[in-house]
Amino acid sequence: MLSPLAAFYKAVEEQPNRVYLRQPINGVYQEYTWSKVEQLARNMANQLQQLGIKKGDKVALWSKNCAQWIMADLAIMMAGGVSVPLYPGQSKANVHYVLQHSEAKILFVGKHDNDADVIASIPEGFTTIGFPYYSGPVTHQWDDLVSKVAPDDFKVNMPELDEVMTLVYTSGTTGQPKGAVHTFKAFAFASNNFVEQIGIQSTDRGISFLPLAHVAERIIVEGQSFYGWFSVSFVESLESFAENIVSVKPTLFFAVPRLWSKFQEGILAKVGGQEKLNRLLRIPVISGLVKNKIKKGLGLDQARLCGTGASPMPQSLLHWFDKIGLPVMEGYGMTENLCYGTLSLPSQRLIGTVGKPFYQNELKISDQGEILFKSPALMQGYYKDSDKTKEAFIDGFYRTGDKGKIDEQGFLHITGRVKELFKTTKGKYIAPAPIEGLLVAHEFIEQACVMGSGRNQPVAVLELSETARGLDAEHVQKAIAEHLDWVNGRVEHHERLDCLVLTQLMWTVESGLITPTLKARRDTVEERYLSLAEEGVTGIVWGPKEGSAQSHEAA
């Protein structure tokens, strides 16, 4: 099995002059061939060693997707370092924690939505290398370093498969990031098998816009490109997103459910609504023309494989895209197994499931109904956290925290969650407890239950305190709205609450809303109150009056 770096070098040898990375700058794509990428990455690797990076040292990457992100990752490998990706938009506290916990020596910093926040988040005196798109102060500029040609005697580090390649930090139930330790072997196994099972070809075209710090994009785009040798284009900005896709015409396209939903909204707005679209699709000749026009408008008329993952995609939405001739394949995986879980393919797909396990990936359901995975793609453990590592495994299988079942055909159905941790449609994990702790800090709030699996942003259902129930509703609403702003200012962007539902009934054991130990019954609270906070509703929503709530709950 070739390491990711060895696979990259094989591509450089076989197709040096083919375009590999395409970076848009002011609307024009700047193209880098495989040999050019190797040259720039090697120059940077030499500079990393000149800056003191030794084998096994950690080097962090904090940027939105761009060509330099992948070149920097290659340079870290060539220099013998271990990459530590950071998500764009992370809080100052998380950035400091990851840099300190990982013992990173250098930070590559690049394009972000708000450079001012990034500048304020970088620890004082930390060595930084700035990508061309970053306007903040840095120790070194990317262009300056890569312009210094590596000497002939510079030796590229060719890693052994069992060496650590990357630390991928993810949030745990405590809210503190955990660093999943992945080797070159795990990355090679997952990436190469993705290429083999999906049938990737060097003539394919990929487009990268989901965070490369997330293992899904890291494997599906970067990893697969190392072994599949196809070109990767990037998106310049949110404003140019649609235009970039149309320009690239990707043959491979992966997006989270939220984006597919946005595509649907845009299509229906242009067509004139669902009823009109239904009428057009019933006319034989017109139907084909309409489908082709829709796909061309999205830039996906040449896409031979469209995928989704990171969170559940509604079955109704999957069926909808089937009807317009753009089937979307759903997959299931996590940071800890490099997304090497299950996948639906055109040849084996059943809507309502997340497909079948990948090659050499053992899947089983525990006695408690928890989904367990075991494969060479599994992490070695959590960096510097033996206790969390032990909790994550059972008999060599990774515990996903999700409940599921396997049908007679071998398809995996996800039926719920074992842990309280849940995902939004953005593919971000939410740990409810820390947010609930902030909410109940207000005297008007007795209990809080944060939820929102499969939504864009989480919401919370609150039990008002006895004090609040005796006050004027307008006064209570204003105070809690201010408190909501306070809470949202202290959590990560993906953790910010869209809506608070204020219940006007005491949560009791008899009502079924709390356990005998006075803990909220999440499933019951969600079942009875989540519908009040419909997607798109923001701010404060009042639950039914006590009488109607009691009758509802009695029912």
Tell me the per-residue pLDDT of 114-159, one tens digit each, with 9 for 90 and over: 888 899 999 999 999 999 989 899 999 999 999 999 999 999 999 9
Torsions phi, psi of 438, nearest 5? -70, -40
pLDDT at 465: 82
On whether both 76 and 140 belong to a single domain, the answer is yes
Of 370, 393, 423, the position where a domain reaches its end is 423
- What's the CA gap between 490 and 155, in Å, rounded? 46
Torsion sign, CA atoms 256, 261, 262, 263: positive
| Residue 243 falls inside a structural domain | no
**Residues 338 and 377: beta-carbon distance below 8 Å:** yes
**Ordered per-residue pLDDT tens for the chain, 555 residues:** 999 999 999 999 999 999 999 999 999 999 999 999 999 999 999 999 999 999 999 999 999 999 999 999 999 999 999 999 998 877 788 899 999 999 999 999 998 888 888 999 999 999 999 999 898 999 999 999 999 999 999 999 999 999 999 999 985 434 578 999 999 999 999 999 999 999 999 999 999 999 899 899 999 999 999 999 999 999 999 899 999 999 999 999 999 887 887 898 789 889 988 899 999 999 989 999 999 999 999 999 999 999 998 777 878 789 999 999 999 999 999 999 999 999 999 889 999 899 999 999 999 999 988 999 999 999 999 999 999 999 999 999 999 988 899 999 999 998 766 767 788 888 887 878 778 878 887 878 888 899 888 888 999 999 898 778 878 899 999 999 999 999 999 898 899 999 999 998 888 766 778 754 456 778 788 888 888 887 777 889 998 875 443 333 322
On whether both 396 and 480 belong to a single domain, the answer is no
- What's the CA gap between 356 and 304, in Å, rounded? 20
On whether both 414 and 473 belong to a single domain, the answer is no
Encoded tokens for 479: 């105070």
- What's the CA gap between 89 and 68, in Å, rounded? 18
**Residues 237 and 26: beta-carbon distance below 8 Å:** no
DSSP designation for 369 = S
On whether both 438 and 414 belong to a single domain, the answer is no
| Residue 11 falls inside a structural domain | yes
- What's the CA gap between 87 and 80, in Å, rounded? 23
- What's the CA gap between 517 and 515, in Å, rounded? 5
For residue 242, the Cα-to-chain-centroid distance in whole angstroms is: 20
On whether both 329 and 191 belong to a single domain, the answer is no
Q: Which domain holds residue 446?
A: 431-554
Query: Which of 378, 377, 363, 337 is closest to 1 using CA atoms?
Result: 377
Encoded tokens for 65: 């997707």
Encoded tokens for 1: 């099995």
Strand order across the beta sheet in which 499-503 lies? 445-451, 459-464, 499-503, 539-542
118: domain CATH number?
A: 3.40.50.12780
Query: Which of 208, 185, 200, 242 is closest to 5 using CA atoms?
Result: 185
Specify the pTM.
Answer: 0.79
Tell me whether strands 82-86 and 58-62 are parallel, antiparallel or unpaired.
parallel
Of 402, 423, 444, the position where a domain reaches its end is 423
- What's the CA gap between 339 and 194, in Å, rounded? 10
For residue 157, the tally of other CB atoms under 10 A from its CB is 16
Number of domains composing the chain: 3
Which strand (E) or helix (H) includes residue 540? strand 539-542
On whether both 42 and 182 belong to a single domain, the answer is yes
| Residue 245 falls inside a structural domain | no
**Residues 21 and 37: beta-carbon distance below 8 Å:** yes
On whether both 511 and 402 belong to a single domain, the answer is no
**Does residue 401 sit in helix, strand or coil?**
strand
Residue 272 neighbours by CB under 8 Å, 6+ apart: none
Which strand (E) or helix (H) includes residue 430? strand 429-430
On whether both 408 and 450 belong to a single domain, the answer is no
3-state helix, strand, coil in the chain (%, to 5): 40, 25, 40
Torsions phi, psi of 38, nearest 5? -65, -40
- What's the CA gap between 179 and 252, in Å, rounded? 29
| Residue 446 falls inside a structural domain | yes
**Residues 345 and 197: beta-carbon distance below 8 Å:** yes
